[in-house]
Amino acid sequence: MINTRSSLIKKYLYIVVLAIFALFIGPWLSTASAATGSSSPRVILNGRELDFEVPPIIENSRTLVPLRGIFEAMGANVDWNAASRVVTASKGAIAVILPVDSSTAIVNGNPCILDVPPRIVSGRTLAPLRFVGEAFGGRVTWDGKTKTVYISNASVDKPAAVKVNANQVNLRNGPSTLTAVVGRAGFGEIFEVLEEQDGWYRVSRGSETAWLAGWLVVAGPPAGTPEPEPQPQERIVVLDAGHGGFDPGASGNTLKEKDVNLKITQGVGELLAQKGVTVVYTRSDDRYVSLEERSSIANRLNASIFVSIHNNAGDLPSASGTETYFYAPASNLDLFAQREARAKLAKAIQTELVSMLLRKDRGVKEANLSVLRNTLMPSALVEVVFISNPMEEALLQNNDFINRAALGIANGIMAFMNDID
Ligand SMILES: [Zn+2]
């Protein structure tokens, strides 16, 4: 997010208010509500009191409010993904992603640290008041005397300018992906905004105008303004453990592909997280997630990279080795524009994985696979080894081998990311 001075002042004021609140009002309130069990704060949005099935709570001087009720009252669309335990909400050009029990939310692809993680109370997601109130551009004030939260989002202005927040973005002649591509823009390019419609921005470039998808840009400084100090680009890697739930994938004599995939995927995620990469899993336990949902998770997050992790099976038990897939056909211009990056990602993973596992190098291949076709960012699908090969199945039962597989894939992802810096 861009740290303008006014937002810094706002943040500072907020901290002061919060500190006063915590010191004087917070403890009294929590005691009061604990004693009576019924005095939860009221929430007034644009002058109208909101009603909740699960009321707001105050905990350790933090107010947690029902997210869906408030977001919907503000006019946002809210979605809950039970598999990944992630709330997504969007309104106009703003897209919010909020994993439950995590203190990082993502607003238009940018991580945002929360005071306390959102959590589920009686089947409803409660999230910190300030975040919920401000995510879609509202202002939050607190009246301690009446224990009332006031949120106002009456005037959400379009930004004066936006900055491209993805590697390659199409400029179109209308506010929809169904309209013709009239040009392309690269990461960091800044455009003056002329109007907003359905989450798209009409922008000017030279003497022409074109439409840009709101989820691929962030509010930026007006063109011509000197850049503040360069901020490192935030990287979100979506890791996809193949299969799960009623879909076991391939099977060996004793192992199921879905279990092996999950182990390796979690290993990759831990290694990337140690390097400061933000990792999101399409599944983190044994459950079914549809192929469409897997790519949608990455697209909604505006992730930098998507990697799907599988193990192979062949008709002959002797089939063995490692292979990695990408997809970028000339018939799909959006994918074709990423051809070099997609091939490079697959190649980096294949090279590092083969050098780590020393199994047969079956090479990088191209195939029209759902998760590769439907992801908007560079993506690859790796088949670590053959679970149908008794010798490789035995290797997959060995923790050291699993760890080396995870390290190989993580090294490949890091090599790719360092290369595109
Ligand atoms: Zn598979």
Tokens of 361: 């190098």
Q: Which residues contact 336 (CB under 8 A, 6 or more apart)?
A: 328, 329, 330
C-alpha 345 – ligand 1 centre gap (Å): 19
CATH 2.30.30.40 residue ranges for the chain:
161-220
C-alpha 338 – ligand 1 centre gap (Å): 24
Q: Which residues hold their Cβ within 5 A of ligand 1, which is an ion?
A: 242, 249, 310
Fold of the CATH domain 161-220: SH3 type barrels. (2.30.30)
Q: Is 383 a catalytic residue?
A: yes
Fold of the CATH domain 5-152: Copper Amine Oxidase; Chain A, domain 1 (3.30.457)
Residue by residue, pLDDT tens for the chain (421 residues) are 444 444 555 555 555 555 554 444 444 444 333 333 447 888 888 777 888 888 888 877 778 888 888 888 888 888 888 777 888 888 877 788 888 887 778 877 677 777 788 888 888 888 888 788 888 777 777 777 788 888 877 544 577 778 888 777 888 988 887 888 888 888 888 888 887 776 778 888 777 788 988 778 877 665 455 544 444 456 889 999 999 999 999 999 999 999 999 999 999 999 999 988 889 899 989 999 999 999 999 998 889 999 999 999 999 999 999 999 999 999 998 999 999 999 999 999 999 999 999 999 999 999 999 999 999 999 999 999 999 999 999 999 999 999 999 999 999 999 999 876 5
Q: Is 70 helix (H, G, I), strand (E, B) or coil?
A: helix
DSSP character at residue 98: E
DSSP 177-226: TTSPEEEEEETT-EEEEEEEETTEEEEEETTEEEEEEGGGEEEEPPTTSP
The four Cα atoms 208, 209, 212, 217 give a dihedral, to 10 degrees, of: 80
CATH 3.30.457.10 residue ranges for the chain:
5-152
C-alpha 387 – ligand 1 centre gap (Å): 10
C-alpha 241 – ligand 1 centre gap (Å): 9
The predicted structure's pLDDT at residue 103? 77
Cα–Cα dist 90/108, whole Å: 9
The predicted structure's pLDDT at residue 226? 52
The predicted structure's pLDDT at residue 223? 47
Cα–Cα dist 299/363, whole Å: 27
| Nearest residue to 251 via CA among 387, 383, 398 | 387
Amino acid at 318: S
Half-sphere exposure of 94 (CA within 13 A, CB side): 23
C-alpha 331 – ligand 1 centre gap (Å): 26
- Domain 236-419: assigned CATH number: 3.40.630.40
Tokens of 53: 């099935």
Choosing from 192, 257, 352, 383, the catalytic residue is 383
This prediction has a pTM of 0.51
| Nearest residue to 379 via CA among 276, 318, 320, 304 | 304
CA distances (Å), origin 148, targets 22, 48, 141, 278: 15, 12, 8, 36
Q: Is 59 helix (H, G, I), strand (E, B) or coil?
A: strand
SS (H, E, C) 351-406: HHHHHHHCCCEEEEEECCCHHHHHCCCCEEEEEEEECCCHHHHHHHCCHHHHHHHH
Q: Is 280 within 8 Å of 99 (Cβ atoms)?
A: yes
Q: Which helix (H) or strand (E) holds 48?
A: strand 48-49
Q: Which helix (H) or strand (E) holds 142?
A: strand 139-143
C-alpha 395 – ligand 1 centre gap (Å): 17
Q: Which helix (H) or strand (E) holds 148?
A: strand 148-152
Q: Is 259 within 8 Å of 286 (Cβ atoms)?
A: yes
